[in-house]
Structures are given as structure tokens and as C-alpha cells.
């Protein structure tokens, strides 16, 4: 093994190596961890490994590797069994969002993992406070939420369940920094966590406006791409307010908050699209329609764009001191 | 005048040449229009011209000029009087967001502008349906909303007031395309228009969560910069749903919409910050604090970032056919 590849502790287990699991595995290998990747379904070992290799190639393309790809593969074990988890200090579950299946899987993880290991879930749908009840020692359970691709953004959301202890948060926070992330800590376990939840507020409002025929969804996309998209990656939310001036926002909020949508359900228009069997780019029918070729082009565009924006963002380093550990 | 500089019709009047007015003026000069820039306040002629020149230099830096800068200046008239508006086919008001001052200004604009000219406002705070009552022929009044910098994003929001006619919308839509914009049309005149309104939905939710101590505002900024910021400029809102798959969103919306904030006022925490005299980077105190040097650095960073993201976005051309004229 090359000495330019610095191997980091702990050994990390990833259970579930679909799209996100394989991307997270590649990200952790690139950071220098030994990774035990578990494919819980029979027959998933080989396609899982293929996905991981593909994601590692993307890491290479992102300039995230400083040794040949095969040396990183030397840090990887892929298995259908759980016994390789025996030397892991952290195990992250990345399987489907099904609470019963997760319960079965966590039983196995607990059986094979050292008693002091931190257990985590990459769920974005199920509360951490519920999942942590599935293990004997809920204090060492935590949510770690990556965005896709796991290696290609500085985003990482750390979610405290009701019983997660401070030591667990600190450990994961410090690990995340060593991965090149700018981690954020969610102190309370709320639905949708932060990043998705804020976008849901956008979706609630825009579905309402499209329903009322105020604007078409193509135009809504253009607005967001070219206006919010022109400062978002630089500033975030509160910095943007500071930049524009707080007085104007104060006035605007008072005028507009009372008019925003408070709908609890999705709009009839979206329901109609759902009822027609639309699934998105996966089946070629969503808000837009896609030929096979167009769908593939969108997947490729996202990979290419993500690489571009990752490097662009690196030219605008975080101005915010990292002080976001649990302090309150 | 160089023949590589193609001069376009109509002649356009810009009334008010502060930050946005000068940026819009530069954008229209770069597109080849003759511009009559009116500084309504005495003494504002010279600083206004300086601002326009500075913005034109930025256009040059963005590679938006195809002739020497001084040739573009040859298309410009700056004046304290309104009589140069006499040959304008479009006049855009860009003054302070004060309804009484706007009324005075529109009286003068009407007095000096041809009877068939389109009159417009770049307001982001006052309904177009109210402003259009200030002119004798409200059908030819429209909202044209640029984002800063006017030349450096494909964003342009066209807002119909209650009485705006279709011919006026079509004219401005086609003009906007000739300016290199991907214009969007807001069919109904709603508070905050679209792009700001969607962000207000984000602000309402995040102020609520910060108030409840779920997350700190620094962390909220990181989430948005690195997650939403990693796909926003490529996909917009509905395309993102298609990409991720509609089923997951459908489930998430049903779970989460009922929990989103429906607050009508700003949070006590923001109120406290406002009460302390915080204005944002302009006075060095906002959600963050800024030395003079830090404030300047943020202004510079935004200029540099905007140039970068403008060019990056150009590599991912709009997939959406331009079909957003008023059709319903």
C-alpha cells in the first residue's frame, strides 16, 4: 500500500450498497478509511462492488484520490455476511426506507458489531428517535445524512435522536471534518431534517401557485435556476439577508408571510400527475417527459454539474467558523 | 460607431440610476439599445454615470461586450431632465420603493414619453396592478424584474398587472429573449412575485426552526449552500423532483406539510436583531458581524461568484422549450 495513502481510523461498516451506500462507501475510502461494505440481499455483492468502483472512478475524476484507485480498493471488503463488521468503530445503515426491514437489519448489525461502536442511519424519512430504539444502547445512535453524490459536496447533516449523547455527536462531527465536510448539527430530530424540510416549504408554496395558475412549472424552474441559483452556493440563507439588507426583508416578511400557502396536502394537479403513473425520470414521465436518451443525459449532466459546482464552491471557502457543535 | 455593435430598437429609458438602475442600464447597452438614463435627484447625474461605467466594465469582464466599451457609452444619454424620453419605446422605473414618490415620477414619465410607449417598473415590493393605475393607459404597463447583477443572470421575471394586455407581455417577452434572458411570466400579480416569494417560504420555515433552537443560522446557511446549492442552478424545482422520483416526494409532502411553519410574523429572535439596529453588511451588523474589510470582501466575492456561475450555467443550456408566454 502506497505511503501517500494515509489510512484513517475507525474502520467503517456500510450496510446497503445501492446508490447512496456505494457513493458513501467511495467517499469514505477516498478519505482513507477501511470500509466493510455489506450487501444484505443475496446476489447484490457483485453489482454493489461495481457501483462502488464506478463511484471511486468519479472520485478520481473529482481529484479526490491521491493514490491509484486500486490502492483504495485494497481498503474495501464487500460481503453478504455481517461478521466483517466485527472491527468497525462506526456502522452506517443505508438500506430502503422501510421501518420493519431496518429493524431486522439493525438486529444483525448489533449482533456483529463491537458494543462500543457508533451506529448510524443515512435515512431521510424515518425519525432517528425511533430508529435508535432498535439498539440496546440508543445513546450511541445518530443520523448521518449525506447528499448525492456523497463525495461531491461539503454537505453533511448530523441528526441527534432524543437519546443520542454528546460524545457520539462530537465523534461524528470531528470525523466529518476529517472527510472534508462542513457538517451541520440538527439538535432536535424533526421531520425532513433541515435541508429537505426547507425545500418542502418551497414545494408547498410553488404547488399552490401552479395550482392557482399564477405561473407554469417550467417558469418556476427557470426562476429558481437563475435567481436563487445565482447566489445560493455562495451565501446560503441568512448571509443573503445580510447582503441585501435586513430592513427590506423585515418589511417583506410582514407583507407576505400571511399570504403564503399553509396547505397540508399536495395539490390536485400533482395528485393527477401521480395518479397517471408518473414516477419521474426513472419511468420517463414526471412534470416533464423524458425519452430514454434524455433521462440518461440528465443523469450525466448532474454528474458533470456536480463536479463543476464542487470545484467552483472550493474557490469560495467557508467564511463561517466551525462552531456548530451542540452547545445549547 | 463600430459595425460589430448592432444597434437594437427600441430606445429605452431608465428612470433612477442607483444600484439596480445602473446595472439594468449597462445590461441594455450591452444588448445594443440606445438608453436614456434619467437621474431624478439633482446631483445624481455624475455618480450615476460612474456607476453605469463601472457596471459596463463588469459586462466587459463577463465577456458580454463585442465592441470597445466606449462605443457602448456612445449609446448612452444621462440626464436630470425627462425630455430625452421623447423617443423611447420602453421606459423602466427603477427608483425607491415608495408609492408616493413613484406616483410623482410616473406623472413626469407620462408627460415626456410617446403615447404608445410601454411603461414598466422594476419594483419588487409594490403590486403592478396598483402602479398601472398611475398612467392613463394601464394596459401598456408591466412589471420587469431583474436580479442583481442585471447583466449577469438569465433570470428575468415579467409580471402582468390586472390590466396589462397581451401585446405588452409579448413585446417584453420577445425583447427579453433578445437580451439573452430566459424570461418567466407571472400571469397574476401576487405579492413578492415568484422568486422572492419562494425564498420567503424558506425564510418563514428557517426562522421558525432557529427560534425553536433546532438549528443555528450558520448551520442553516451551510445546508443550503452545499445541498440545494449543489443542484439548484442545474435543475430548478420540478426537474429536481423528477430526478429524485415523484413517489418519495409524494410521501414526504404528506408527512411534512402539516408540520411546516404557518407563522404570519417574523420570529422574536429576528425582531431582537432588528431592534438592535442591525442592517446587514451595510452597517456591519446582521445575523453575522462584518468589519469594513469583510463587508467589501463579500461584495467582491459576489461579483466574482456571479461571473463564475454565469459561465458555468452557460455550459448547461436550458432544456425547457420557451413556451411560457401567456397562454391560459
Q: DSSP secondary structure string, A72-96?
A: HHTTEEEESSSGGGGG-SEEEE---
Secondary structure of A223-284 in HEC code, one letter for each residue: HHHHCHHHCHHHHCCHHHHHHHCHHHHHHHHHHHHHHCCCCCCCCHHHHHHHHCCCCECCCC
Name the helix (H) or strand (E) containing A159: strand A156-159
Whose grid coordinates read 443515512?
A122
* Mean pLDDT of the region B247-270: 92
The rounded Cα A197 to chain-centroid distance in angstroms is 13
Taking only the tens place, the pLDDT of each residue in B155-165 is 999 999 999 99
* Record: contact B222-A154, CB cut-off 8 A: yes
d(CA A150, CA A169): 19
Task: Judge whether residue A314 has pLDDT over 90.
Answer: no
Q: Do A222 and B254 touch (CB under 8 A)?
A: no
Query: Which CATH code of 3.40.980.10, 3.40.50.920, 3.40.50.720, 1.10.1040.10 fits the domain covering A199-314?
Result: 1.10.1040.10
User: What pLDDT does residue B3 have?
Assistant: 60
Beta bridge partners of B38: B15, B79
pLDDT at position A139: 98
Q: Which residues numbered 261-300 in B keep a CB inside 8 Å of some CB on A?
A: 261-266, 270, 273-274, 278-282, 286-288, 290, 294, 298
> Which residues of chain B are within 8 Å of residue A242 when distances are taken between CB atoms?
280-281, 286-288, 290
Looking at the partner chain, which of B188, B204, B229 has a beta carbon nearest the beta carbon of A257?
B204
pLDDT confidence tier of residue B248, bands split at 50, 70 and 90? confident
pLDDT band at A6 (very low <50, low <70, confident <90, very high): confident
B221 interface with A at CB cutoff 8 Å: yes
Distance (Å, rounded) from C-alpha B44 to C-alpha B104? 18
* ipTM computed for the complex: 0.91
A224 CB neighbours in chain B (<8 A) are 195, 198, 232, 236-237
Calculate mean pLDDT across residues B120-145. 96
**What percent of chain A has pLDDT above 70?**
95
Q: Is the CB of residue B107 less than 8 Å from the CB of residue B80?
A: no
Determine, for residues A213 and B328 on separate chains, whether the beta-carbon distance falls below 8 Å. Answer: yes
pLDDT band at A318 (very low <50, low <70, confident <90, very high): low
Closest CB to B232 among A225, A238, A312 = A225
Q: Does B245 touch chain A (CB under 8 A)?
A: yes
Q: Answer for the pair A137, A109: CB distance below 8 angstroms, yes or no.
A: no
Beta sheet of A141-146, edge-to-edge order: A76-79, A33-38, A8-15, A90-93, A118-121, A141-146, A156-159, A184-186
Beta bridge partners of B78: B37
Predicted pLDDT at A263? 95
User: First vs last Cα of chain B: how many Å apart?
Assistant: 44
Nearest C-alpha neighbor of B220 from the set A292, A134, A239? A239
Cα–Cα distance between A274 and A6 in angstroms, integer? Answer: 49
* Distance of residue B196 Cα from the nearest chain A Cα, in angstroms: 9
Which residue, among B14, B88, B18, B83, has the nearest Cα to B47 in the 3D structure?
B18
Rounded Cα–Cα distance for residues A85 and A106 (Å): 12
Cell of A268: 390536485
> Are A241 and B287 a contacting pair at CB < 8 A?
yes
For residue A32, give how far its alpha carbon lies from the nearest alpha carbon of chain B (Å): 22
Query: For residue A55, which of A40, A35, A41 has the smallest C-alpha distance?
Result: A35
**Distance, in angstroms, between B12 CA and closest chain A CA?**
24
For chain A, the first-to-last Cα distance in angstroms comes to 44
pLDDT at B50 over 70: yes
Measure in Å the smallest separation between the Cα of A142 and chain B Cα atoms: 16
Q: In which element (H, E) is residue A220 found?
A: helix A217-226
Cα–Cα distance measured from residue B69 to residue B61, given in angstroms and rounded to the nearest whole number = 11
In words, the CATH class of domain B198-314 is mainly alpha
**Least-confidence region, from A51-60, A219-228, B36-45:** A219-228
**What does the DSSP assignment read for B35-91?**
EEEE--STT-HHHHHHHHHHHHHHHHHTT--SS-HHHHHTTEEEESSSGGGGG-SEE
The CATH class that applies to domain B8-186 reads alpha beta
Using an 8 Å CB-CB cutoff, list chain A residues near B256.
191-192, 197, 200
DSSP string, A166-218: HHHHHHHHHHHHHTT---EEESS--TTTTHHHHHHHHHHHHHHHHHTTSS-HH
Residue B142 pLDDT > 90: yes
Inter-chain residue contact A222 with B184, CB threshold 8 Å = yes
The grid cell for B19 is 444600484
In chain A, what residues touch B27 (CB-CB under 8 Å)? none
* DSSP at B280: B
* CB contact set of B197 (below 8 Å; sequence gap of 6+): A205, A209, A256, A260, B190, B191
Select the highest-mean-pLDDT range: A108-117, A211-220, A304-313, B295-304. A108-117
Distance CA(A204)–CA(B48), nearest Å, equals: 41
Note whether B229 and A274 are within 8 A (CB).
no
Residue in B286, B264, B267 with CA at minimum distance from that of residue B211: B267
C-alpha grid cell, residue A275: 395518479
pLDDT recorded at residue B317: 75
User: Dihedrals φ, ψ of A79, to 5°?
Assistant: -150, 150
Express as a percent the part of chain A with pLDDT over 90: 87
Q: Minimal Cα distance from B229: which residue of A? A: A233
The partner residues of B92 in beta bridges, in order of sequence, read B14, B120
Is the pLDDT confidence value at A71 over 80? yes
**What mean pLDDT do residues B202-211 have?**
95
Mean of pLDDT values over B142-156: 94
> A216-252 burial string, b = 16+ CB within 10 Å, else e?
bbbbbbbbbbbbbbbbbbbbbbbbbbbbbebebbbeb
Instruction: Kindly determine whether residue B154 and residue A286, on different chains, have CB atoms separated by under 8 Å.
Output: no
Contact residues, chain B, for A252 at CB < 8 Å: 125, 192, 196, 200
Residues B112 and A4: their CA atoms lie apart, in Å, by: 73
Q: What is the predicted pLDDT for the residue at B125?
A: 87
Q: State the pLDDT confidence band at A319, using cuts at 50, 70 and 90.
A: low
Contact B309 A228 (CB under 8 A): no
Put simply, whether B323 touches A (Cβ < 8 Å) is: yes
Partner residue opposite B302 with nearest CB, options A234, A264, A306: A234
Are A75 and A7 contacting, i.e. CB atoms less than 8 angstroms apart? yes
Instruction: Report whether B44 contacts B165 (CB < 8 A).
Output: no
Identify the residue whose cell numbers are 442600464.
B25
Span A194-239, pLDDT tens digits:
999 999 999 999 999 999 999 999 999 999 999 998 999 999 999 9
Is B225 in contact with A234 (Cβ distance < 8 A)?
yes
The pLDDT of residue B319: 53
Cβ of A225 within 8 Å of Cβ of B313? The answer is yes
Contacts of A1 (CB under 8 A, 6+ apart): A7, A71, A74
Query: Does A154 sit within 8 Å of B125, measured CB to CB?
Result: no
**pLDDT score of B324 more than 60:** no
Q: Please, are residues B320 and B242 in contact by the beta-carbon 8 Å criterion? A: no
Q: Does A150 contact B at CB distance below 8 Å?
A: no
Of the candidates A217, A237, A251, the beta carbon closest to that of B238 is on: A217
Rounded to whole angstroms, the Cα distance separating A42 from A204 reads 40
**pLDDT-derived band at B86, boundaries 50, 70, 90:** very high
Q: Which residues of chain A does B229 touch, with a Cβ-Cβ cutoff of 8 Å?
A: 232-233, 236, 309, 313
Q: B177 in contact with A at a CB cutoff of 8 Å? A: no
Touching check for B222 and chain A: CB below 8 Å? yes
Residue A4: is its pLDDT beyond 90? no
Determine whether the interchain pair B274/A186 forms a contact, defined as Cβ–Cβ distance below 8 Å. no
Q: What is the mean pLDDT of residues A14-20?
A: 96
Per-residue pLDDT of B270-323, as tens digits, reads 999 999 999 999 999 999 999 999 999 999 999 999 999 999 988 887 554 333
Q: What is the 3-state secondary structure (H, E, C) of A269-305?
A: HHHHHHHCCCCECCCCECCCECCHHHHHHHHHHHHHH
A vs B, Cβ pairs < 8 A, gives: 415
Q: List the domain boundaries for chain B.
A: 8-186, 198-314
Q: How confident is the model at residue A324 (pLDDT cuts 50, 70, 90)?
A: very low
With cut-offs at 50, 70 and 90, classify the pLDDT of residue A5. confident
Average pLDDT across chain A, whole number: 92
pLDDT in tens, A73-85: 999 999 999 999 9
Nearest to B227 among A153, A279, A294 (CB): A153
What pLDDT, on the 0 to 100 scale, is given for residue B76? 98
Helix H segments across chain B? Answer: 19-30, 45-61, 69-73, 99-112, 128-131, 166-178, 195-211, 217-226, 232-235, 238-244, 246-256, 268-275, 292-314
Amino acid at each position: 500500500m502506497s505511503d501517500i495513502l494515509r489510512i484513517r481510523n475507525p474502520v467503517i461498516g456500510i450496510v446497503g450498497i445501492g446508490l447512496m451506500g456505494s457513493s458513501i462507501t467511495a467517499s469514505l475510502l477516498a478519505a482513507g478509511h477501511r470500509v466493510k461494505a455489506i450487501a444484505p440481499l443475496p446476489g447484490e455483492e457483485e453489482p454493489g462492488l461495481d457501483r462502488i468502483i464506478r463511484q471511486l472512478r468519479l472520485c478520481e475524476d473529482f481529484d479526490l484520490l491521491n493514490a491509484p484507485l486500486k490502492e483504495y480498493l485494497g481498503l474495501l471488503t464487500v460481503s453478504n455476511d455481517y461478521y466483517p463488521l466485527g472491527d468497525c468503530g462506526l456502522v452506517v445503515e443505508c438500506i430502503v426506507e422501510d421501518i420493519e426491514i431496518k429493524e431486522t437489519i439493525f438486529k444483525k448489525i448489533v449482533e456483529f458489531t463491537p458494543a462500543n461502536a457508533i451506529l448510524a442511519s443515512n435515512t431521510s424519512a424515518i425519525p432517528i428517535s425511533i430508529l435508535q430504539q432498535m439498539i440496546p444502547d440508543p445513546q450511541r445512535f445518530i443520523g448521518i445524512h449525506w447528499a448525492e453524490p456523497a463525495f461531491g459536496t461539503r454537505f453533511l447533516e448530523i441528526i441527534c435522536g432524543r437519546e443520542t449523547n454528546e460524545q457520539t455527536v462530537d465523534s461524528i462531527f470531528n470525523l466529518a471534518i476529517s472527510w472534508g465536510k462542513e457538517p451541520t448539527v440538527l439538535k432536535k430530530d424533526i421531520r425532513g431534517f433541515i435541508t429537505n424540510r426547507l425545500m418542502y416549504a418551497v414545494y408547498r408554496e410553488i404547488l399552490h401557485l401552479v395550482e392557482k395558475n399564477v405561473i407554469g412549472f417550467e417558469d418556476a424552474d427557470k426562476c429558481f435556476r437563475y435567481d436563487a441559483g445565482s447566489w445560493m452556493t455562495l451565501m446560503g440563507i441568512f448571509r443573503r439577508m445580510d447582503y441585501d439588507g435586513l430592513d427590506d426583508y423585515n418589511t417583506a416578511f410582514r407583507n407576505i408571510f400571511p399570504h403564503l400557502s399553509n396547505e397540508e396536502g399536495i395539490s390536485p394537479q400533482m395528485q393527477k400527475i401521480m395518479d397517471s403513473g408518473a414516477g419521474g425520470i426513472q419511468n420517463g414521465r414526471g412534470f416533464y417527459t423524458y425519452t430514454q436518451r434524455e433521462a440518461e443525459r440528465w443523469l450525466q449532466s448532474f454528474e458533470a454539474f456536480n463536479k463543476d459546482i464542487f470545484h467552483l464552491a472550493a474557490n469560495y471557502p467557508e467564511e463561517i467558523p466551525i462552531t456548530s457543535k451542540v452547545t445549547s
